[in-house]
Chain A
């Protein structure tokens, strides 16, 4: 397993377009300065990993990328974040449409209290992505297949999504997110509640998703970052200490703090 994953990560990063570009982003929770002047480009068709100790702001920054922080009243974001060159915090941008393009999977699986089918069909239905029932069936099946859960649930699509096991629920949430056909998929520690087998399945899935999407993943596991990502950013105390190719960052870090973190001296 490790061998194949290492091999996957080895696939080089060619000259790729910038998907999301951020410049001088600051985030405040009331008086707490959570993100300090972060500038970072997320490439298309690439898995980008955010690593760093707890409370360093990596999840907060991830949630800025599709304006999930809008739902928190005391949160304030300044600076520029551009998706395909357009400012996502501009007045003219509707966060609802933005989130259809930039999907998110959370740390804790959160299936809706609906059937498995309806969980996946939710996004396509509200965005009018399908013409009829047959279309919808196809999207649901395709999404569940891509999330590597189809075989486990195909005979009980009508049973509630909340009745699945933790790992299955998380894969259902991933299927739900890709059913909306986003361009970027944000994942906030998607494997923290999963066992090693489910984790491996999801890591494989993440690598597959790379062919269609740009994927950003927050993780506490440095092994996971090394396995699945091509680019890695190391966050510390709200700043990006180092950002570069995953291989370089793990084998030859420029900053002493990165070195200390990846060798386990703190965090």
Chain B
């Protein structure tokens, strides 16, 4: 039914496009040059209005009407059973709606059946009503704008303004969403700190992480929300990942940009970038099933005790995941170093190695640094690999062969567990906010460095 309405609105807007064009042509008897705007702008103006008004009416009328219907039905429930609790009333209502749509309900009784009849009746009214109103609205808007068309009508300016408005609304939606997410992070974080009586240092520097231990008493124990082990674990895994990713990625980039023949480059670069396309969950079970047991076996063969989930395994695999980011970005910035600089160095009798080490790399350094920083912010925020391969126990250790846990892993644990969301949300949002601040800071630094670099070379 609703899709029929959408189709009709589109069809009418198409009709108004054709009609508007034809009317514009007719209004000047085919002397196009005397029209203020091209005929298709006249058509577009009319059809855009029809489309916008129709769609907006469809959305607004059906939502508002649906709320009104709910209120009517709720009133009916309360009339029939005045003593019913709020949650039961909602259950009855949702059952009645299910029956009306022919779905399965939790229970069927007289009240629900009569309600279902009423629901399907007013639901039908709502559908028909919103469809008819929106189609009429579209036609009305189309006709009204169609009437305005004549030789001097500024259809181009007006339709361009209309399109600009639509674009602006899209941009505003994206920005508002971001602001909303950040605000919700901030408020939940503040709520959490309020629960632990603003002892924020206990969160940042405390060493015992067991935020749900007091859940049954309904209190949050400030001594048990110490996230330091999480930060240390995240930091250690990030360091291990960068130890793997930075040299390999950077050297691969140097090889690709300055040594590889064009043919090798042609297939090697896409191959490297395929690494970036592998879902992180695949890396995760690769780390847990292949790499971790191998490291454990190897460690035991030389007499070391290695946990079956270790920071080393997770870090190494995460490093492999980050290689393509670093190599691809570094390759781009190394290629952006002007050939004239290389020629200048060769012209002085420098070898390729001297040229790369002393001229190309210093020139590309800001870009390489920002590539590394972006890699770090990837590593800090990475979740799947560490969930599977790094362990869950929050123990404070500097030994990469032991199991550690990270900020992201603990967020997953808190949210996916069967604790009530409102209790788990506080610590989880606070961890998330901390993570957000760190990655935002890294990205800002990276962008600043890149901007400085651009100023030097354009």
Contact = CB atoms under 8 A, between A and B. Distances in A.
A110 B346 contact: no
Contacts of A108: 340
A112 to B, nearest CB: 5
Interface in B345-384: 345-351, 354, 358-359, 362-363
Contacts of B351: 96, 126
B364 to A, nearest CB: 9
A100 interface: yes
B346 A71 contact: yes
Interface in A71-127: 71, 73, 96-101, 103-106, 108, 110-114, 122-123, 126-127
A43 interface: no
Interface stretch (A13-21, A173-181, A194-202): A173-181
A66 interface: yes
A112 B363 contact: yes
Interface centre among B341, B346, B349, by most A CB within 10 Å?
B349
A203 B363 CA distance: 31
A224 interface: no
A5 interface: no
Given A108-B340, A162-B456, A114 B347 contact: no
A200 B362 CA distance: 34
A7 interface: no
Contacts of B340: 106, 108, 110
B344 interface: yes
Contacts of A114: 362
B456 A122 contact: no
B348 A180 contact: yes
Nearest to A98: B349
Contacts of B154: none
Nearest to B261: A73
A162 B456 CA distance: 8
Interface of A: 66, 68, 71, 73, 96-101, 103-106, 108, 110-114, 122-123, 126-127, 162, 173, 176-177, 180
Nearest to B347: A104
Contacts of B363: 112-113
B300 interface: no
A103 B348 contact: yes
Interface string B307-324: 000000000000000000
Contacts of B165: none
Given A110-B340, A112-B359, A113-B362, A177 B346 contact: no
A112 B362 CA distance: 9
Contact of B262 (A66, A73, A98, A113): A73
Interface of B: 261-262, 338, 340-351, 354, 358-359, 362-363, 456
Given A73-B262, A122-B358, A162-B456, A110 B343 contact: yes
5 contacts: A71-B342, A73-B261, A113-B456, A123-B350, A173-B344
Contacts of A162: 456
A114 B365 CA distance: 12
A101 B348 CA distance: 9
Smallest CB-CB A-B distances: 7 pairs? A100-B349, A104-B347, A99-B349, A110-B340, A110-B344, A123-B348, A113-B363
Nearest to B351: A96
B354 A106 contact: no
Interface majority SS (helix, strand, loop, mixed), chain B: helix
Contacts of A73: 261-262
Contacts of B346: 68, 71, 99
A126 B349 contact: yes
A47 B443 CA distance: 54
B339 to A, nearest CB: 8
B325 to A, nearest CB: 25
B449 to A, nearest CB: 14
B341 A110 contact: yes
Nearest to A107: B340
Given A68-B343, A96-B350, A177-B347, 18 more contacts: A96-B349, A97-B349, A99-B348, A100-B348, A100-B349, A106-B347, A110-B338, A110-B343, A110-B344, A112-B341, A113-B359, A113-B363, A122-B348, A122-B350, A122-B358, A126-B349, A162-B456, A176-B344
Contacts of A112: 341, 344-345, 358-359, 362-363
Nearest to A67: B346
A123 to B, nearest CB: 4
A176 B349 contact: no
A185 to B, nearest CB: 10
Contacts of B348: 99-100, 103, 122-123, 126, 176-177, 180
B335 to A, nearest CB: 15
Interface centre among B341, B344, B359, B363, by most A CB within 10 Å?
B344
A24 to B, nearest CB: 25
Contacts of B261: 73
A237 B342 CA distance: 29
Contacts of B350: 96, 122-123, 126
Contacts of B338: 110
Contacts of A111: 344
